[in-house]
Amino acid sequence: MSEFKSGFISIIGPPNVGKSTLLNRILGTKIAITSEKPQTTRNRILGIKNLGNAQIIFLDTPGIYQPKSLFSKYMVNTALAACKDVDLILLMVEADGSIAVEVHYVLEFLSQCSFPVILLINKVDRIKKEGLLPLIHAYSNLFAFSQIIPICALSGDGIDRLMEEILKLLPEGPQYFPEDMITDQPERFIVSEMIRETVMGNTYQEIPYAVAVSIDEFREKPERNLIVMRAIIHVEKPSQKGIIIGKNGATLKKIGSEARKKIEDFLGAKVYLECWVNVEWNWSKHKTALRKLGYR
């Protein structure tokens, strides 16, 4: 009888390198929101990959960089905390021909850890082969990685090899979660993230970073295969509220319509979604407001 393997794996790296895209690709379904804008991921997202002979638990994390504000310190601390008591770490970077300053900050932290680390060089479709080999060499001189694997999380290139290497390094262990479970996050959280993702895709400048979303109502009506939701989009200033609402409410209506379609695809049910915008003055700078919005 073949052994059953299981373990916890943290996906870490600088902001906007494709960590959430990788998690969604591995799981084959979307549980983590993605965007071209940095610092999209704010919380630790757990995703479970069930195989015939293994259960792999991935932890998607916010981007790691030198934090300055209270909120950025929260996000970086969340990412670093996800590196404790894991079996393997996936450090993800971009194939941009150079080593980002944030990577040195991450490696300084990893030098204190005893876990194996696989380096993933993502977005290899953006770099020529003759530029990739020197980059691999440069990274190998910085840290004793277990493996260095070029990938493209968006297309799936290199993911099969990554899964093979993960299974080699995972220890024998139990099945921690039921086979049909893909995340430990409640539906309310994933729905709120989908709405925030939609806001990010329809706004610009500082707006995406000033937005948080809470679900005020989540009521199921099984007899009609309908879920009634009321979401509050929190911003920091009245001017931001005006931008999200838009002229004659057009922007907010567009956000609500796009978000509803995403949520219906995820939940497999019809959704009635009401979105309201609320000013929570400078919420990202105050501990009480951060706790109120779920950032603890």
Q: Among residues 89, 85, 100, which one has the least CA distance to residue 61?
A: 89
127 and 203 belong to one structural domain: no
Mean pLDDT of all residues in 49-72: 88
pLDDT digits (tens, 9 = 90+) for 174-205: 999 999 999 999 999 999 999 999 999 999 88
Structural domain includes residue 174: no
- Do residues 146 and 162 make contact, with C-beta atoms less than 8 angstroms apart? no
95 and 204 belong to one structural domain: no
Q: Which residue has the higher pLDDT, 246 or 83?
A: 246
48 and 192 belong to one structural domain: no
Question: Which residues are within 8 A (CB) of 32 and not within 5 positions of it... i.e. 6 or more apart?
Answer: 20, 23, 24, 41, 45, 47, 60, 193
Residues of the chain with pLDDT > 70, as a percent, come to 99
We report the CATH number of the domain holding residue 239 as 3.30.300.20
21 and 109 belong to one structural domain: yes
pLDDT digits (tens, 9 = 90+) for 101-132: 888 888 888 888 888 999 999 999 888 888 89
Q: Please state the pTM of the whole predicted model.
A: 0.88
201 and 61 belong to one structural domain: no
The answer to whether residue 1 scores a pLDDT higher than 70 is no
Supply the pLDDT for residue 130: 82
> What is the DSSP secondary structure assignment for residue 87, as one 8-state letter?
S
> What is the DSSP secondary structure assignment for residue 63, as one 8-state letter?
P
Count: domains in the chain: 2
Supply the pLDDT for residue 177: 95
Domain of 121 in residue numbering reads as 5-169
We report the CATH number of the domain holding residue 75 as 3.40.50.300
55 and 198 belong to one structural domain: no
For β-strands 212-221 and 226-235, DSSP reports them as antiparallel
